[in-house]
Amino acid sequence: MAKQLFIKTFGCQMNEHDTEKIAGVLSNLGYSLTDSPDGADMIILNTCSVREKAEYKCYSDLGRLLELKKKNPDLVIGVGGCVAQQEGERIVQKAPYVDMVFGTDNISEIPKLLEKKKGQRKGAVSTERRKKGLVPQGGTDFISVPFPSMVRNHPVKAYVNIVDGCDKFCTYCVVPHTRGRERSRQPEDICHEIQGLASAGYKEVTLLGQNVDSYGKDTGGHTDLADLLHRINDIPGIMSIRFVTSHPADFGDRLINAMKRLPKVCEHLHLPLQSGSDTILERMKRNYTYPEYRDKIRRLREAIPDVAVTTDIITGFPGESAEDFDKTLEAIEEIQYDGIFAFKYSRRPYTSARLYGGQVPREVSEERLSQVLEIQDCITQEKNQACIGREFDILIEGESKKDKRNLTGRTRGNKIVHIPMEEGISIGAILRVRITSATLASLKGEVVRQGRGL
Ligand code: 5AD
Ligand code: SF4
C-alpha cells in the first residue's frame, strides 16, 4: 500500500503551488496524499512567514505533531516554506523530533534529506539558496525547467511559476528575505509546461510571481509579461489565463494593451495598494503615489470597462496617523474595488520597518482593519447585486464544497458562481450563465447555454 502523506499548507498561492511540487517529489518515493494527519506516515508543514506569529504557529503545530510521533515513532515530520527558510537549523534545535527542514529552493532535495536523516539522529536541514542562473550541484533547476513531477490539486486549473523571489524590498515584507532575489523562468520553458497542461486537459493557467510585472527583467528583458501573455494566448486548449501579483510601480500600458487585446486573458487585475497615504507609501518604499496608482486604474478601466480590480491593504503601518488612514478609506471609496484582502501590520524579522518608530498599537490597527472590511463589504455587496440579471462566461471548476447539488465556477473577473448541477455539464466546461441572486461571498446563476470553446 502507498505510504500516506499529509501536507498542511499556509499562506499564498506560491506556497500552494510548492505543495504540489512537494507532493510530486514524494509521489516518486511511493507517497500518496491524504487529507488527515491521523494515520499518516509523513506530515509536512509548508509554512508561511508573511504575517504575524508564523514562527510561533509553526512551533505550536510541531508540538501537536510530537504527540502523533509519540504514538507512531516511524512518523516522518518535515518543515518547508518560508519559516523553514528563515529558521533553518533552529527548527531541529528547538524541535529535535523533526526529521527534515527544507527551504523554498530545496524541494527537489527532499529524497536526499530523507536518506541523510536515516544515517543520523538529528534532523536533516537544507536551506541553501539557489543563486541566480546557477543550478545547485545534484539539484534540479526547478525555476528554469518544469518541475520534474507535480501532484496538481485541481483537474482544470493550474498554477505556473513564471518568476520566483522579489527584488522590491518593501519595508514591511519578509518575502525578499525568505524567497530571495528575482529569478525569471525562460519563456520557452513556461510555454512548454503550459502546452503539457493543455494536452492533459487543463483549461486555465494562473501565472505566479511575487511581482509578475518584473518578469524577464533579470534575464535581459527580451520577453516581458505582455509578450509572454501573447505567447500563452496562442496555446490551443488553454481557454483562460490569469496572473498574480502585479506591482503598481511596474504595471503599465503594455500590460493593459495585452489584457485588452488577448481574448484568453481574464479581465481581472490584483493590484495591491497597501495604503492611500503618500507618506505611508513612501515609508513602505512602494515607489508610487496614490495619484499615480489611481491614474493607472483609470487607464485600465478606460481600456477594459468591465475589468475587475482587487487589492491588498495594510492597516497600522508604523507612523500611520488617523489622517493617513482616512486617505486609505477615501482611496477604497474612490477606486471601488471588487474585493480586498486587508491585514493589520505585523512586524516581521529582517524587514526595515520593524525598526521604525511610531509602531501603531494593536487595538488601533485592529479597529482600522475592521473599518476597511466594513466599507469594502458594502461595496462588494453592491457590486455583486449589480451582477443580477447579467450574463457571464463561467469556467466550471467542480462541485460546490458546501452543497453537492451545486457546481462552482468563476467569472473572468474572478467572482465565484454556483449553479445547480445539471446533466451533461462537465468539469472544465465553459458555460454562459445568467446571475439570479448574490451574497457577499458569491453569486448564484442558471445556465443560458454552453459557452465559448466547447
Ligand atoms: N504585515 C501585514 N501585512 C503584510 N503583507 C505583507 N507583509 C505584511 C506585514 N508585515 C501583506 C501585503 C501583501 C500581502 C501578500 O500580504 O498586503 O500584499
Ligand atoms: Fe513583498 Fe513588496 Fe516584494 Fe510584494 S513587492 S513580495 S510586498 S517586497
Q: What domains are there in the chain, each with its CATH number? A: 3-126 (3.40.50.2300), 157-385 (3.80.30.20), 391-450 (2.40.50.140)
Is any atom of ligand 1 closer than 6 Å to the C-beta of 61? no
pLDDT at 452: 53
Q: Rounded CA gap, 291 and 401, in Å?
A: 41
Q: Note the pLDDT of residue 453.
A: 46
Helices 322-335 and 290-303 pack at an angle, to 10 degrees, of 10
Confidence of residue 206 (pLDDT cuts 50, 70, 90): very high
- Distance (Å, rounded) from C-alpha 293 to C-alpha 272? 10
Top mutation candidate among 166, 177, 352 for ligand 2, by most atoms within 8 Å of CB: 166
Query: For a substitution probing ligand 1, which of 273, 280, 312 has the most ligand atoms within 8 Å of its CB?
Result: 312
Give whole-number Cα distances, 270 to 190, 240, 276, 312, in Å.
21, 16, 16, 8
For the cut 50, the answer to whether the pLDDT of residue 143 exceeds it is no
pLDDT value of position 401? 85
Is 345's C-beta closer than 6 angstroms to any atom of ligand 1?
yes
Q: Per-residue pLDDT tens for 66-96?
A: 999 999 999 999 999 999 999 999 999 999 9
What span, in angstroms and rounded, lies between the C-alpha atoms of 257 and 227?
11
Q: How confident is the model at residue 184 (pLDDT cuts 50, 70, 90)?
A: very high
Q: What is the pLDDT of residue 435?
A: 98
Q: Which atom of ligand 1 is nearest to the CA of 341?
A: 17
pLDDT in tens, 211-254: 999 999 998 878 999 999 999 999 999 999 999 999 999 999 99
What are the tens digits of pLDDT across the range 408-435? 999 999 999 999 988 888 899 999 999 9
246 CA from centroid of ligand 1 (Å): 14
Question: Best mutation site among 168, 283, 343 for ligand 2, i.e. most ligand atoms within 8 A of its Cβ?
Answer: 168
Any atom of ligand 1 within 6 Å of the Cβ of 348: yes
Euclidean distance between CA atoms 217 and 77, whole angstroms: 38
**Per-residue confidence band for 366, with pLDDT thresholds at 50, 70 and 90:** very high
Non-local (6+) Cβ contacts of 73 within 8 A are none
Q: What is the pLDDT of residue 135?
A: 35
**pLDDT of 142:** 38
Atom of ligand 1 nearest to the CA of 174: 7
C-alpha 170 – ligand 2 centre gap (Å):
6
- Whether residue 147 has its Cβ less than 6 Å from ligand 1: no
User: Is 115 in a helix, a strand, or coil?
Assistant: helix
User: Cβ < 6 Å from ligand 2: which residues?
Assistant: 166, 168-170, 173, 175-176, 210-211, 247
Query: Which-ligand-closest: CA of 341?
Result: 1
The whole-model pTM stands at: 0.92
Say if residue 195's pLDDT is above 50: yes
Q: Whose CA is nearest to atom 13 of ligand 1?
A: 312
- From the CA of 214, which ligand is nearest? 2
Mean pLDDT throughout 46-65? 89
Per-residue pLDDT band at 51 (split at 50, 70, 90): confident
**Mean pLDDT of the region 283-309:** 98
Pairing of strands 183-184, 163-164: antiparallel
Q: In testing the pocket of ligand 2, which one of 173, 275, 343 has its CB within 8 Å of the most ligand atoms? A: 173
311 DSSP β-pair partners: 340
pLDDT value, residue 166: 95
Q: How high is the pLDDT of residue 434?
A: 97
Flag whether pLDDT at 145 surpasses 50: no
For the CA of 12, the nearest atom of ligand 1: 15
Are 378 and 332 within 8 A, CB to CB? no
Integer Cα distance of 172 and 347 in angstroms: 7
Smallest CA separation from ligand 1 atom 12, residue: 312
Site to probe by mutation for ligand 1, drawn from 10, 49, 50 as the one with most ligand atoms within 8 Å of Cβ, is 50
How many CA atoms, within 13 angstroms, populate the side-chain half-sphere of residue 302?
A: 8
150 Cβ neighbours under 8 A, 6+ residues apart: 20, 21, 23, 24
pLDDT band at 153 (very low <50, low <70, confident <90, very high): confident
pLDDT at 386 > cutoff 90? yes
pLDDT of residue 392: 96
Please state, for a pLDDT cut of 90, what percent of the chain lies above it.
86
Q: What is the pLDDT of residue 402?
A: 84
Between CA 454 and CA 329 the distance in angstroms is: 43
pLDDT at 451 over 80: no
50 CB under 6 A from ligand 1? yes
